[in-house]
Amino acid sequence: MSRPIRVLLVEDNPGDADLTKETLEDCRLHVEIDIAIDGAEALDRLFRRPPHGSAELPDLIFLDLNLPKMSGREVLAQIKQHPSLRTIPVVILTSSDGEQDVVRSYELGANCYVTKPVGLEAFQAIVRSVEGFWFTVVKLP
């Protein structure tokens, strides 16, 4: 891919958002990261509603489940029901390790489910693992 890899990070926790962004930006590939702080903003960006009318669609979405205004589950359902969005891979990156959340996320069309570990180094290692898989192993649409 000659152009930058575009990532939409949907995360309401500023610390987790900053850490994820910094870790992704440290990779050798050129990555452009947009952050949405709640589910409604994520959908506004994806559907290019004002003020995001000129936003480019991401190549990959990192989605937290527990978001204000609209849950990650609702966002995921809308993404996977829309013809122009459903092929965008969605990585669930959340603090929940509940079996019900895992199963429901896959039922809604998640491409990957990752539980955020506690601790800075463990968190960075998980993000790097996800990054390595999605940015170097997998061919993105």
Q: Among 98, 85, 93, which Cα is nearest to 59's?
A: 85
10 SS3 class: strand
Q: Residue 62 and residue 18: Cα distance in Å, rounded?
A: 13
7 SS3 class: strand
Q: Residue 34 and residue 101: Cα distance in Å, rounded?
A: 25
CATH number, residue 97: 3.40.50.2300
Least confident of 10-14, 100-104, 121-125: 121-125
Q: Residue 19 and residue 22: Cα distance in Å, rounded?
A: 5
What phi and psi, each to the nearest 5 degrees, are found at residue 16?
-65, -40
- Which tens digits make up the pLDDT trace of 114-132? 999 888 889 899 998 988 8
Domain count, the chain: 1
- Which tens digits make up the pLDDT trace of 68-87? 999 999 999 999 999 999 99
Residue that has been written with the tokens 């000659």 in this structure: 2
pLDDT at 10: 97
**Residues 6 or more apart from 52 whose CB is under 8 A from it?**
44, 45
Domain hosting residue 10, numbered range: 5-137
Beta strands in the chain (DSSP E): 5-10, 31-36, 60-63, 90-94, 112-115
